[in-house]
A and B are shown apart, each in its own frame.
Chain A
């Protein structure tokens, strides 16, 4: 068996989170990239920065508008997806996989449990 990855969860701000031990990988949902349209630039966060849930972490610029990305949970940024620097359109092609944006060392794992499951997120989108 490989590394145990958690089930993917979602925020109301359309970010997805998956947790491997105490490291959370975060990106924007496929729904979010569809509504943003062509993504042309991302301002990645700095590694080492600490954030609380709901803090603005970085900005995604699409052809239409700039959108803030929020920290889904408390923690410290430990890695960013540098591939996005040169080619932010990866998010359009594969938002919930290779289009991940940053990783956080989680300080409060219980916050993860409160996020929406995939089914709950789908219901949330339909509301």
Chain B
């Protein structure tokens, strides 16, 4: 049986359609539907309950950091305070156990790594966290996690939480909401400016109701979260990422600390270092449909001679482009300038290769909150 998130009743009362996802009953959309939710985030803002995701706090001491650096391809000693980093847990072959956000924050004058990870990977990740830090504190047992995304999210959030005057993309702060500590990061997974807020379950419903006082925001489900992240060209675990794909094959080498690839204490360092200097087997590409049919996860890609050259890992309807878009992998030896066909219901349909992202990212960098 899938688990319930703490505010399940609230979501259902607000018209959520619940579906099982990663072991949880989650809102996929509300009454207005996925396309309207998607457009509202691009134009105004939207609120996502992502309390299914994993959140852990690990005290930063030498032993914990040393242990975690076997799995995480960053210099954890050099992390900047109040900064979030997109990174991975790696297996022995350099494959991705999970993709994560690791942040360095102080709580009650103590320094912690605050890690947010995928719901579908809780078992695998927590095995590693507890091995590295037996006293790791599983924060999602008492905190909900919300994302408010879209160009107006700063106004919506600033009305109820006093945000610092300088807060850029991937900055993270411990702030107060009605005298209660909340962890607020300027981040998200939609390609828009926005924030993620970790808040005690006790205060979560009042918090969301406070956000909804803004008449231009709305509750949004996982359906629009998926089409938003896909338009932004962002990878999703279980689709673009899995234990058999390295961050380099996934086109995410920017997220690796290159010095760590020479460090034999990092899982898969030789494989990764080799891939960085030579060509990996597969290449990630963006695709758009030429006619109206939908590109979906698992569809096979072919060249003009009907040779299998790869497959689609995520596909959806793009409300912004008004056609289907997809991310997939093709064999690196395939000449990307050639025509690509996708097999859709036993028919070969021409698809067009395009650069990622499909929709330009709109992150807040080097600006004040009032800009």
Residue of A nearest to B19 (CB): A64
Contact between chains at B293 and A41 (CB < 8 Å) = yes
Chain B proximity mask over A36-71: 1 for CB below 8 Å, otherwise 0: 011011010000000000000001010111100000
Return chain B residues, CB-CB under 8 Å to A43. Answer: 293, 345
Q: Does B225 contact A (CB under 8 A)?
A: no
What interface size band does chain B fall in? 10 to 19
Contacts of A37 in B (CB 8 A): 17, 28-29, 33-34, 223
In the complex, the answer to whether B223 meets A63 with C-beta atoms within 8 Å is yes
Nearest residue, chain B, Cβ from A88: B292
Q: Which partner residue on chain A sits nearest B34 by CB separation?
A: A63
Are B292's CB and A63's CB within 8 A? Answer: no
Q: A37-B223, A40-B317 given as contacts; is B33 within 8 A of A61 (CB)?
A: no
B34, A64: Cβ atoms closer than 8 Å: yes
- A37 CA / B34 CA spacing, docked (Å): 8
Residue of B nearest to A34 (CB): B17
Taking the complex as formed, is B35 at the interface, i.e. its CB lies under 8 A from any CB of chain A? yes
CB distance from B297 to the nearest CB of A (A): 11
**Which of these, B28, B33, B296, contacts A66 with CB under 8 Å?**
B296
A38 touches B35 (CB 8 A): yes
A66 to B317, CA, bound (A): 12
Q: Which residues of A contact B293 (CB under 8 A)?
A: 41, 43, 61
B316 sits at the interface (CB 8 A): yes
Residue of A nearest to B227 (CB): A63
A64 touches B294 (CB 8 A): no
| Chain A residues positioned under 8 Å from B317 (CB to CB) | 38, 40-41, 61, 63
Contact of A64 among B28, B324, B345 (CB under 8 A): B28
B303-326 CB contacts (< 8 Å) to partner A: 316-317, 324
**Residues of chain A in range 6-34 having any CB-CB distance to chain B below 8 Å:** none
For A59, the chain B residues whose CB sits under 8 A away are: 345
B35: chain A residues within 8 A (beta carbon)? 38, 40, 63
Chain A residues with Cβ below 8 Å from B345 are 43, 59, 66
- Nearest A residue to B345 via CB reads A59
The digit string for A60-101, where 1 denotes a CB below 8 A from any CB of B, is 010111100000000000000000000000001000000000
On chain A, the residues within 8 Å of B227 by CB distance are 63
Partner of A40, one of B17, B29, B294, B296: B294
Q: Which chain B residue lies CB-closest to A64?
A: B223
Give B350 Cβ to nearest chain A Cβ, in Å.
Answer: 16
- How many angstroms from the CA of A4 to the CA of B222 in the assembled complex? 46
Instruction: Give the residue name and chain of the A residue nearest to B296 (CB).
Output: A66
Question: Least Cβ distance of B253 to chain A in Å?
Answer: 32
- Least CB distance from A67 to B in Å reads 11
What are 10 of the A-B contact pairs (CB < 8 Å)? Answer: A37-B34, A41-B292, A41-B317, A43-B293, A59-B345, A61-B293, A61-B294, A63-B35, A63-B317, A66-B294
- Extra 17 A-B pairs, beta carbons < 8 Å, given A40-B317, A41-B324: A37-B17, A37-B34, A38-B34, A38-B317, A40-B35, A40-B292, A41-B292, A41-B293, A63-B223, A63-B227, A64-B28, A64-B34, A64-B223, A65-B296, A66-B294, A66-B345, A92-B33
